[in-house]
Amino acid sequence: MMTVTLSLAQTDILGKWKTIDDNSGDVKSIVNIYERDGAIYGKVTKIFPKEGDDPDPICDDCDEDDHRYNKKVIGMEIIEKMKKDGDEYTGGKILDPENGNVYKCKLWRENNTLYVRGYLGFFYRTQEWKFIE
């Protein structure tokens, strides 16, 4: 009997990820990425507020027409409707709850790092998230 081992580690993005602040390098939150109805979603499960910040904030900067407006960030889906495209996930959106902006999104994994790129027109920013479990 022959056993075939598929290397999903490079493309599998499901699980819990530490989000890292671009400027300070501090851990900002934990996001659980999961599959639902054939698409990929990500929900904030924990935040690490700076001293003096609200430990359980709401997204009051979200657009008033967004279903997440004035909802708690903890438990909020910030990644929506991503679809696998080769080794990447595209076609969905990501919300930055700190400023309420929604961006087109691309996700890809390299080892224990998830690259999260948000696009606004021709401009983009890429964050590196670290795998927890």
pTM of the model: 0.88
1 vs 58: CA distance, rounded Å? 55
Model confidence pLDDT, tens digit, residues 23-79: 888 999 999 999 999 999 999 999 999 899 999 999 999 999 999 999 999 999 999
Instruction: Note the pLDDT of residue 4.
Output: 36
Q: Is residue 43 part of a domain?
A: yes
Range of the domain at 44: 15-131
Q: Is residue 41 part of a domain?
A: yes
Structural domain total, the chain:
1
Q: What is the CATH number of the domain that holds 124?
A: 2.40.128.520
Q: Is residue 6 part of a domain?
A: no
67 vs 131: CA distance, rounded Å? 28
DSSP 97-129: TTTTEEEEEEEEEETTEEEEEEEETTEEEEEEE
Q: What is the dihedral of CA 44, 53, 99, 57, to 10 degrees?
A: 50
Q: Is residue 73 part of a domain?
A: yes
Instruction: Note the pLDDT of residue 8.
Output: 43
Model confidence pLDDT, tens digit, residues 101-119: 999 999 999 999 999 999 9
Q: Is residue 7 part of a domain?
A: no
Q: Is residue 20 part of a domain?
A: yes
The single-letter code of the amino acid at 12 is D
Q: What is the mean pLDDT of residues 75-90?
A: 96
CA–CA distances in Å: residue 112 to residues 49, 50, 116, 119: 24, 25, 13, 23
Q: Is residue 5 part of a domain?
A: no
